[in-house]
């Protein structure tokens, strides 16, 4: 951070484009109340600015590079930035079912497939919903409090242009996964997109949503996405956030979920790309007897950083929450994990478990992990664990005694380590696609292939 830069001057570039974004949004027929949300967001952001390393939640994640970046939100979509052929090159391209494509934060209907929407299910872009069903959306947007993603939430409030809005009515089971693809054109540095997703699954419904983030060009873009998820009573929701942006991209992602009683939520996060990525996950367990799984895998190379922060708030009795996060780190990359399980006084019979395992493949990779428990109820079962280390030499040795070359042995163990997480994705086709992708990605990494010297061979 530049010491001479006073805070308002530093923040100026985040404030300047606001007038044009707000003006364009209003001229496109956005309801008036949305301008209020935007202005309030901008004011909150201007007040606090980006968090610094002094902030406990951001101790290990330096946001200075984002601050140094130009900040260019696009009020309107760029003409012909992306073609259908571009999409075919991406992973998960072969998936059938509904697909919504957003380019630099704007819905691209010509690339999307939303014809076959089932009855009682609404899938639309945010900007369209704002015009068509504003009252409902206003209600949805109003009911969220701020979490640890404060600054980015505020920025998203101010600048969000589009995103997926999903409303599944009570008792409806959506057969195929709904795929939302967020692309950065990556043409010029500083292009900023602020997707805002609103997902509502009413009581006893069932749905799976995949949010995929990818880049086409290599410029240093900035994505600041926020998903609000409401899981109704007895509903079953699976949510995948698959972040695979370009090696220079900055990705700030938030998932804020409120889960009602007896529901089941599985939220997966796969962080494979971006120079710096952060997932803020806030989960409020608002009804008794529900089950929630947070599951994540981060694979980092070179000088990248992947950060996962989550707060699971057990507010009701008889809930189970399990968090599993594995990281595979090579090069000079860094992994950051912060998990906090909060068990409130009334949340008796809570079953909460949190694990964070890290595999270091190089000498200069590093990990900072903080698995935390905060417990105010006595009749609970809570545990957490964290491990950091290399591949277990004994496991490698065992496989070698069975006749496997050291390279194969290592590869098997690393794949198994990633597989633990991937296996928890319930939807078959998605699981297989991710599995292939992660394996390909690992195979490309020299430190997995063991071109580097093996410390225990």
Partner 1 sequence: MSTPQSTIDQFVQSDYKYGFVSDIETEALPPGLDEEIIRAISAKKREPEFLLQWRLRSYRHWLTMTEPSWPKATYPPIDYQKIIYYAAPKPKAQLNSLDEVDPELRRTFDKLGISLDEQKRLTGVAVDAVMDSVSVATTFRKELAKQGIVFCSFSEAVREHPDLIEKYLGTVVPYTDNFFAALNSAVFSDGSFCYVPKGVRCPMELSTYFRINTANTGQFERTLLVADEGSYVSYLEGCSAPMRDENQLHAAVVELIALGSAEIKYSTVQNWYPGDKDGKGGIYNFVTKRGLCRGRGSKISWTQVETGSAITWKYPGCVLLGDDSVGEFYSVALTNHRQQADTGTKMIHVGKNTRSTIVSKGISAGRGQNSYRGLVQMRPTATGARNFSQCDSLLIGDQCGAHTFPYIEVKNPTAQIEHEASTSKIGEDQIFYCNQRGLSKQDAVNLIVNGFCKEVFRELPMEFAVEAQKLLGVSLEGSVG
The smaller minimum CB distance to partner 1, of residues 88 and 378, is found at 378
- Segment lying near partner 1 (by CB under 8 A), choices 31-39, 74-82, 266-274, 373-381: 373-381
The smaller minimum CB distance to partner 1, of residues 122 and 366, is found at 366
Residue 150 CB, shortest distance to partner 1, in Å, is: 18
The smaller minimum CB distance to partner 1, of residues 169 and 362, is found at 362
C-alpha closest to that of 321 among 232, 383, 379, 378: 383
386 binds partner 1 (CB under 8 A): yes
**Distance, CA of 200 to CA of 140 (rounded, Å):** 9
Alpha helices in 49-146 (DSSP H): 64-68, 84-88, 126-132, 134-142
C-alpha closest to that of 426 among 332, 256, 329, 295: 295
375 binds partner 1 (CB under 8 A): yes
**Distance, CA of 194 to CA of 251 (rounded, Å):** 10
- Token representation of residue 303: 């000088």
- Go through 98-133 and write b for each residue having 16 or more CB atoms within 10 A of its CB, e for each that does not: bbbbbbbbbbbeebbeeeeeeeebbbbbbbebbeee
Residue 409 CB, shortest distance to partner 1, in Å, is: 17
The smaller minimum CB distance to partner 1, of residues 94 and 455, is found at 455
321 binds partner 1 (CB under 8 A): no
Residue 354 CB, shortest distance to partner 1, in Å, is: 9
List the x/- string, 132-161, binding to partner 1 by CB under 8 A.
------------------------------
Phi and psi, residue 120, nearest 5°: 60, 20
> Residues 340, 369: contact at Cβ < 8 Å?
no
- Segment lying near partner 1 (by CB under 8 A), choices 142-150, 176-184, 377-385, 416-424: 377-385
373 binds partner 1 (CB under 8 A): yes
388 binds partner 1 (CB under 8 A): yes
Q: Beta strands 164-168 and 121-125: pairing type?
A: antiparallel
Residue 358 CB, shortest distance to partner 1, in Å, is: 7
**Distance, CA of 17 to CA of 13 (rounded, Å):** 7
Within 8 A by CB and 6+ apart from 418, the residues are 297, 299, 326, 328, 438, 439, 442
The smaller minimum CB distance to partner 1, of residues 96 and 387, is found at 387
Q: Which of 2, 5, 188, 374 binds partner 1 (CB under 8 A)?
A: 374
Total site size for partner 1, rule CB under 8 A: 37
406 binds partner 1 (CB under 8 A): no
C-alpha closest to that of 156 among 282, 24, 251, 260: 251
Q: Which of 20, 52, 390, 408 binds partner 1 (CB under 8 A)?
A: 390
Q: Which of 113, 381, 436, 449 binds partner 1 (CB under 8 A)?
A: 381
Alpha helices in 257-392 (DSSP H): none
The partner residues of 312 in beta bridges, in order of sequence, read 283, 341
DSSP state of 130: H
385 binds partner 1 (CB under 8 A): yes
The C-alpha angle 82, 87, 90, rounded to 5 degrees, equals 130
46 binds partner 1 (CB under 8 A): no
Q: 308: part of which helix (H) or strand (E)?
A: strand 305-314
**Distance, CA of 242 to CA of 271 (rounded, Å):** 6
299 binds partner 1 (CB under 8 A): no
378 binds partner 1 (CB under 8 A): yes
- Segment lying near partner 1 (by CB under 8 A), choices 8-16, 385-393, 402-410, 429-437: 385-393
The smaller minimum CB distance to partner 1, of residues 24 and 377, is found at 377
- Segment lying near partner 1 (by CB under 8 A), choices 96-104, 158-166, 233-241, 382-390: 382-390
Residues in the chain: 457
Q: Which of 88, 115, 119, 379 binds partner 1 (CB under 8 A)?
A: 379
413 binds partner 1 (CB under 8 A): no
408 binds partner 1 (CB under 8 A): no
Phi and psi, residue 219, nearest 5°: -70, 160
Residues 55-84 that bind partner 1 (CB under 8 A): 56, 60
The smaller minimum CB distance to partner 1, of residues 39 and 55, is found at 55
Residues 343-372 that bind partner 1 (CB under 8 A): 345, 348, 358, 360-372
Enumerate binding residues for partner 1 (CB under 8 A).
56, 60, 345, 348, 358, 360-390, 455
């Amino acid at each position: 951070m530049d010491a001479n830069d006073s805070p308002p001057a530093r923040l100026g570039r985040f404030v300047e484009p606001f007038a044009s974004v707000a003006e364009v949004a209003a001229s496109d027929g956005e309801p008036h109340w949305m301008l209020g949300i935007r202005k309030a967001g901008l004011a909150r952001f201007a007040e606090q600015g980006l968090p610094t390393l002094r902030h406990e939640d951001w101790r290990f994640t330096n946001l200075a590079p984002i601050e140094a970046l130009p900040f260019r939100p696009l009020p309107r979509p760029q003409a012909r930035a992306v073609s259908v052929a571009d999409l075919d090159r991406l992973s998960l391209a072969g998936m059938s079912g509904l697909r919504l494509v957003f380019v630099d934060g704007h819905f691209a209907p010509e690339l999307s497939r939303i014809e076959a929407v089932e009855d009682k299910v609404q899938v639309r872009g945010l900007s369209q919903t704002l015009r068509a069903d504003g009252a409902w959306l206003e209600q949805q947007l109003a009911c969220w409090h701020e979490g640890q993603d404060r600054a980015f939430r505020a920025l998203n409030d101010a600048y969000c242009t589009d995103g997926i809005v999903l409303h599944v009515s009570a008792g409806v089971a959506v057969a195929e996964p709904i795929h939302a693809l967020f692309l950065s054109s990556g043409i010029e540095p500083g292009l900023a997109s602020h997707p805002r997703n609103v997902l509502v699954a009413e009581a006893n419904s069932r749905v799976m949503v995949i949010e995929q983030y990818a880049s086409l060009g290599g410029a240093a873009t900035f994505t600041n996405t926020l998903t609000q998820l409401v899981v109704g009573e007895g509903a079953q929701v699976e949510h995948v956030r698959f972040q695979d942006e370009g090696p220079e991209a900055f990705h700030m992602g938030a998932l804020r979920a409120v889960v009602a009683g007896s529901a089941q939520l599985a939220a997966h996060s796969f962080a494979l790309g971006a120079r710096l990525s952060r997932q803020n996950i806030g989960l409020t367990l608002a009804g008794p007897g529900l089950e929630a799984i947070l599951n994540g895998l981060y694979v980092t190379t070179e000088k990248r950083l992947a950060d996962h922060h989550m707060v699971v708030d057990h507010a009701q009795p008889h809930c189970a929450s399990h968090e599993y996060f594995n990281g595979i780190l090579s090069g000079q990359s860094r992994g950051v994990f912060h998990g906090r399980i909060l068990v409130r006084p009334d949340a008796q019979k809570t079953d909460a478990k949190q694990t964070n395992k890290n595999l270091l493949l190089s000498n200069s990779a590093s990990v900072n992990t903080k698995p935390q428990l905060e417990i105010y109820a006595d009749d609970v079962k809570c545990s957490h664990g964290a491990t950091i280390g290399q591949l277990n030499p004994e496991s490698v040795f065992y496989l070698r005694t069975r006749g496997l070359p050291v390279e194969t042995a290592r590869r098997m163990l690393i794949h198994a380590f990633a597989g633990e997480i991937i296996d928890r994705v319930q939807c078959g086709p998605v699981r297989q696609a991710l599995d292939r992708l992660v394996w390909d990605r690992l195979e490309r990494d020299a430190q997995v292939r063991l071109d580097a010297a093996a410390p225990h061979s």
